[in-house]
Chains A and B, each alone.
Chain A
Amino acid sequence: MTTTVVELWTQEPLLRFVGQASARLVVVMTPAGQVLAQHGFARAVDLMGVAALGAAIMASSAALADLVGEPRYGTIFHAGQRHGIHLAALATPRGPLVALTVFGRETSIGLVGFFFEEFAAALRSAAPAQPARGPILAENFEAELGQSLASLFRR
């Protein structure tokens, strides 16, 4: 199974969680839907769609909770026919994160929830604080951007 991490500190906790909970797919993302780490996805672009929707569910249910005067829901669980979805928010020194887990019938929501607590604690202790950041792209990036977009639109 493929596992990729954008930020290295997420890797060890993620691999451990996947093994313990027998998760099929896992995405760790920012509340804006940016992916920090994933397990089980074959195509990066599919992953982005799942992350966008997961972040949206979390954001909208938090807004809904605010509206009805409830504390924000920490965890959302969807019991499907073949797959369950576990969606949870967690706070880390890196900032708030959202984790989405898809699991099959070989495990259970109870196991996923139980091992998720360990996962969240491991992420919290592994997360670095936000680093300051200097320039990333070269100053003359625009020619390359022009080429990239032109090839994207087959021009």
Chain B
Amino acid sequence: MNDALMHALDRISRVRGVRGSMFVAVDDGLVVAQLLMEGVNGKAVAALAASLARKVGGASGAIGAGRVQFAQLAAEGGTLLVAPAAHDLLVVALADPNVNVGLCRLEMVRAAETSVR
């Protein structure tokens, strides 16, 4: 499975502006597989992205909007993208602020499907 995960991450990382991508266990906030540019703190991205996803997911559920299928935190200095995958995993990408979110989203959803297999 790991090869397939790494291959999926590789495709995300090819999107211009992506600094790193990973599979994260949503309950633990721990990295399952990662592909990062130098200087990106994978542990921090995994822990914080999973925590944010849980909070946003909780809020969405509480207001009756159901499960979160894709979430994006846009900030001055970058963008954090999160998509849920099977086996309680998340696909997470950290990218530049001007990244093509549509393209990135497409690759992340594809990666999420990879994790099912």
Contact = CB atoms under 8 A, between A and B. Distances in A.
Whether chain A touches chain B in the assembled complex (some CB pair under 8 Å): yes
A108 B31 CA distance: 12
A108 B30 CA distance: 9
B34 to A, nearest CB: 13
Interface residues of B, number: 14
Interface range on chain A (Cβ under 8 Å from partner): under 10
Q: Interface on chain B toward A: helix, strand, loop, or mixed SS?
A: helix
A104 to B, nearest CB: 12
B50 interface: yes
Contacts of B46: 110
B14 interface: no
Interface in A101-128: 107-111, 113-114, 117
A79 B29 CA distance: 13
B72 interface: no
B27 interface: yes
B52 to A, nearest CB: 11
Contacts of A109: 28-30
Contacts of B54: 108
Interface of B: 24-25, 27-30, 43-44, 46-48, 50-51, 54
26 contacts: A79-B28, A107-B51, A108-B27, A108-B29, A108-B30, A108-B50, A108-B51, A109-B28, A109-B29, A109-B30, A110-B24, A110-B29, A110-B46, A110-B47, A110-B50, A110-B51, A111-B47, A111-B48, A111-B51, A113-B30, A113-B43, A114-B29, A114-B43, A114-B44, A114-B47, A117-B43
